[in-house]
Amino acid sequence: MGNASSGICRSLAEDIVSGKLPPGQKLEELVLAERFQVSRTPIREALRELHARGLIELQPRKGGVVRRISLADLSEMLEALAALESLCCGLSALRMSAAQKEQLALLHAQAQRCAACGDQASYLGLNQQFHRLISGAAQNQVLQTLLEGLRERLAPFGAALKAVEQRLQISLAEHQAILQAVQAGDAPAAERAMRQHTARLSAQVMAVLRQQQALSEPAPLVAGPEEETQA
């Protein structure tokens, strides 16, 4: 992918992840070519890459549509994320340098201070750094690429994650278990601690989204006495 198509792909991905381009939004080649002042060739390349990342559905000779992610799709992505995160954590326990372990401990200490004063925004930023440091220390570029792709696809559901992460003390306790296992170089314990952490988050995110979906659906019609008798 060339520089032009790469920049277009990055810009569109940011718009999709931020919600600026909502699910169902059409991405027409001609409109995008005019927006970015390029020919349709780099637009097609960018759309193919967005399709490969799972962010859009392609429409032959027309463009694309921002993908609507069902709860079933989301459940599978969260399951995959938990598996990859736990695998990376186990590898990191074996491969993380002493300097990286110190940095991980520092991030955890900073997160504790944020939780103590109720600074959720800063906590969430530190939480991302904590997880990315662990996945990076696994020293496996294939796993890292897969994880980043999943994180990008899950980014539109950040509001649900924020609602779940309001339970900061629970998250901190789980991070403490992860930190201790990584510092001890105990790969099985590190993998197990991360899996428990991500499994809890996944289950709670799904519960939040199911509740939101239920509230957004119209209430079923209730038949009156006469209608019930006729039925």
Is the per-residue pLDDT at 158 higher than 70?
Answer: no
Boundary of a domain, candidates 66, 99, 119? 66
170 and 113 in one domain?
Answer: yes
Is 222 contained in some domain? no
- In this structure, the number of other CB atoms found within 10 A of the CB of residue 82 comes to 20
84 and 49 in one domain?
Answer: no
206 and 122 in one domain?
Answer: yes
Which strand ranges, in their side-by-side order, compose the sheet holding 26-28?
26-28, 63-66, 56-59
104 and 186 in one domain?
Answer: yes
Boundary of a domain, candidates 66, 97, 113? 66
Mean pLDDT value across residues 135-150 = 94
Q: Is 47:64 a contact under the CB 8 Å cutoff?
A: yes
φ and ψ at residue 222, rounded to 5 degrees: -105, 125
Mean pLDDT value across residues 18-42 = 90
177 and 111 in one domain?
Answer: yes
78 and 56 in one domain?
Answer: no
27 and 138 in one domain?
Answer: no
Is 221 contained in some domain? no
Q: What confidence tens digit (pLDDT) does each residue in 103-121 have?
A: 999 999 999 999 899 888 8
* Domain, as residue range, for 37: 3-66
Is 226 contained in some domain? no
Is 230 contained in some domain? no
Is 7 contained in some domain? yes
186 and 86 in one domain?
Answer: yes
CATH number at residue 113: 1.20.120.530
Is 138 contained in some domain? yes
Mean pLDDT of the chain: 86
Is the per-residue pLDDT at 55 higher than 50?
Answer: yes
- The owner of tokens 């509001």 is 159
91 and 199 in one domain?
Answer: yes
Is the per-residue pLDDT at 102 higher than 90?
Answer: yes
198 and 97 in one domain?
Answer: yes
Res 130: pLDDT:
97
Res 227: pLDDT:
41
Res 225: pLDDT:
41
Distance separating alpha carbons of residues 173 and 188, to the nearest angstrom: 18
Is the per-residue pLDDT at 69 higher than 90?
Answer: no
Q: Is 74:157 a contact under the CB 8 Å cutoff?
A: yes
Is 225 contained in some domain? no
φ and ψ at residue 115, rounded to 5 degrees: -65, -40
- The enclosing H or E element of 57 equals strand 56-59
Is the per-residue pLDDT at 15 higher than 80?
Answer: yes
63 versus 173: the higher-pLDDT residue is: 173
Strands 26-28 and 56-59 turn out to be unpaired
CATH number at residue 30: 1.10.10.10
Boundary of a domain, candidates 48, 66, 84? 66
145 and 52 in one domain?
Answer: no
Is 224 contained in some domain? no
CA R_g for the chain: 22
Is the per-residue pLDDT at 88 higher than 60?
Answer: yes
* Minimum mean pLDDT range among 37-41, 181-185, 195-199, 209-213: 209-213
pLDDT > 90 fraction of the chain, expressed in percent and rounded? 52
119 and 51 in one domain?
Answer: no
Res 191: pLDDT:
98
Res 163: pLDDT:
65
**Number of folded domains in the chain?**
2
